[in-house]
Amino acid sequence: METPHDWDEFASLYNAIQNESTLSIEEDVIAELRRQHLLPAITVMDLASGSGRFALPLAQYSDKVILLDWSKEMLRLAQQAAANAQITN
């Protein structure tokens, strides 16, 4: 993937793959951040956030979550998932 447009076109498939994954990657990352006393936090920024796989679970440990991705479609999918999960921060 070389451009934001490429990622926009891939976003739905990427999101489906992430949703089907049974790996507990998010839980492992959160556990490590908590072990290192980086969570809870006031603000968490997820760089290259994709469709929000990490950002959404991190929301329960912070007052504010900022997602940054160059694909607008990935961010739209993350926003939709947050709304579906009633995550507002």
In a domain, 35, yes or no: no
In a domain, 29, yes or no: no
In a domain, 28, yes or no: no
Identity of residue 53: R
- pTM, two decimals, is 0.86
In the chain the first and final C-alpha atoms are separated, in Å, by: 30
Q: How far apart are CA 79 and CA 73, in angstroms?
A: 10
**39-83: pLDDT as tens digits:** 999 999 999 999 999 999 999 999 999 999 999 999 999 999 999
In a domain, 37, yes or no: no
Confidence at 1, pLDDT banded by 50, 70, 90: confident
In a domain, 51, yes or no: yes
Identity of residue 44: V
Mean pLDDT on 26-39: 95
Using an 8 Å Cβ cutoff, are 52 and 77 in contact? Answer: yes
Crossing angle (nearest 10°) for helices 4-20 and 72-84? 30
Domain of residue 48 covers 1-15+42-89
Identify the three-state secondary structure at position 67: strand
